[in-house]
Amino acid sequence: MIKFVHIKKILVTGGAGYIGSHACVELLNSGYKVIVIDNLSNSNEESIKRVQKITKKKIQFVKADLLDKEALLYVFEKNNIDAVIHFAGLKAVGESEEKPLLYYQNNVIGTINLCQAMIQHNVKNIVFSSSATVYGSCENLPINENSKTAPKNTYGRTKLIIENFLEDIKKSDHDWGIQILRYFNPVGAHDSGLIGEDPKGVPNNLMPYVAQVALGSLEIIPVYGNDYSTKDGTGVRDYIHVVDLAKGHIKALENIAKNSGYSVLNLGTGRGYSVIEIIDTFKKVSGVDIPYKVTERRKGDVAASYANVTLAQKELDWIAEKSLEKMCEDTWNWQKNNPNGYV
């Protein structure tokens, strides 16, 4: 349904985190006013300061938890919020299997609280961070938005539950504009080197692991299996530069300002790279030797996952532009400049 809403002030949940901080840069640079809610459970307020340094613009920051309904309502009451970009959530797959209720409570209940506060204050535009994890087994490649959803882990199930109830909200009230974005594998950092991914402890994901081995803070990369039916036997993924991803959110906002409705889009590049290709490219751009050893497959991993991105290109007029070299270059620049992250 066509509509014309002027979206000016955005509530960014989880805006101190990795993707959220990059989205804040793009939002401020595009002229939006930004208010961030984050409980800093997996981030540092320093990222907000750095975003302000990059953009020379101000962010209103509220340290609060989405489980705190009062705090949420207060934020909506005191601000004229036009739309929400909802990044806040826990995202560690392994931890979600160990502590399922923590994940259901934080991700699902947190989002229900958010939607209730939105309804109470008549805010009906939301962009939601979902994940390619909702597809699970990835049988038909490239994966399009109609592919079967069957998440293999608790984290993925929290994302799918949220997608489903957001769709129900839309069915109950057609004024809502809901954009579900299923990210593939976000990597890289802002090219200022001021913001980037700052995992707590030993990284679970490949790119930050490679960066820490290159830096010398970790010894060797475990390559989880080289007997998959892929180009070189190692896992293949659709890595997308976090700045391209952040720009996709601006396009998604523009889209919900014009159209109400519920839509699901893949955000990726449409190209798959293997673990070995990632290590080799990182080696090339950093000039550092990066040792690795092949180990057992990691439980729950699929051989290959990459997106069909034609729908996002069409609906958002958006395309990921940055190369794998640039992804590695920017990760390395961030890691070298911030060997201990934001601390």
- The answer to whether the CB of 305 falls within 8 A of the CB of 238 is yes
Q: How far is the CB of 98 from ligand NAD (least distance, A)?
A: 17
Closer Cβ to ligand WQD, 70 or 219, answer by number: 219
Q: Per rule CB under 6 A, is residue 125 in the interface with ligand NAD?
A: no
155 annotated active-site: yes
Closest to 233 in 3D by CA, of 269, 263, 290, 277: 277
Closer Cβ to ligand NAD, 177 or 186, answer by number: 186
Q: Structure tokens of 324?
A: 């794998």
Is residue 294 classed as helix, strand or coil in its secondary structure? strand
Residue 153's alpha-carbon distances to 100, 250, 252, 261, 284, in angstroms, are: 9, 30, 27, 28, 34
Q: Per rule CB under 6 A, is residue 40 in the interface with ligand NAD?
A: yes
Among 29, 79, 192, 205, binds ligand WQD (CB under 6 A): 205
Site string for ligand WQD, 86-125 (x = CB under 6 A): -----x-x--------------------------------
User: Which amino acid appears at position 31 of this protein?
Assistant: G
For the segment 46-75, give every residue that binds ligand NAD (CB under 6 A): 65-67
Could you please report the per-residue DSSP string of 218-241?
Answer: S--EEEE-S-SSSSSSS-EE-EEE
Q: How far is the CB of 324 from ligand NAD (least distance, A)?
A: 16
Using alpha carbons only, give the angle 235, 239, 240 rounded to the nearest 5 degrees: 170
Residue 113's alpha-carbon distances to 105, 119, 168, in angstroms, are: 11, 10, 15
In what order do the strands lie in the sheet containing 304-305? 273-274, 236-237, 304-305
Q: How far is the CB of 331 from ligand WQD (least distance, A)?
A: 12
Q: Select from 16-24, 258-266, 272-280, 294-302 the region that touches ligand NAD (CB under 6 A).
A: 16-24
Distance CA 98, CA 103 (A): 10
Give the pairing of strands 9-13 and 83-86. parallel
DSSP 161: H
Q: Per rule CB under 6 A, is residue 81 in the interface with ligand WQD?
A: no
Q: For residue 127, how far is the Cα from the chain centroid?
A: 12
Among 69, 121, 283, 298, binds ligand WQD (CB under 6 A): 298
DSSP 133: G
Closest to 119 in 3D by CA, of 130, 128, 111: 111
Site string for ligand WQD, 256-275 (x = CB under 6 A): -------------------x
Q: How far is the CB of 182 from ligand WQD (least distance, A)?
A: 9
Identified catalytic residue from 103, 155, 273, 306: 155
User: Which amino acid appears at position 82 of this protein?
Assistant: D
Among 96, 111, 129, 266, binds ligand NAD (CB under 6 A): 129
Report the residue closest to ligand WQD, judged by CB: 235
Q: Select from 37-45, 165-173, 205-213, 246-254 the region that touches ligand WQD (CB under 6 A).
A: 205-213
Name the residues that contact ligand WQD, by CB under 6 A: 91, 93, 131, 133, 185, 204-206, 209, 221-224, 235, 237, 275, 298, 301
The catalytic residue positions are 155
Chain residues binding ligand NAD by CB under 6 A are 14, 16-20, 37-43, 65-67, 87-91, 106, 110, 129, 131, 183, 186
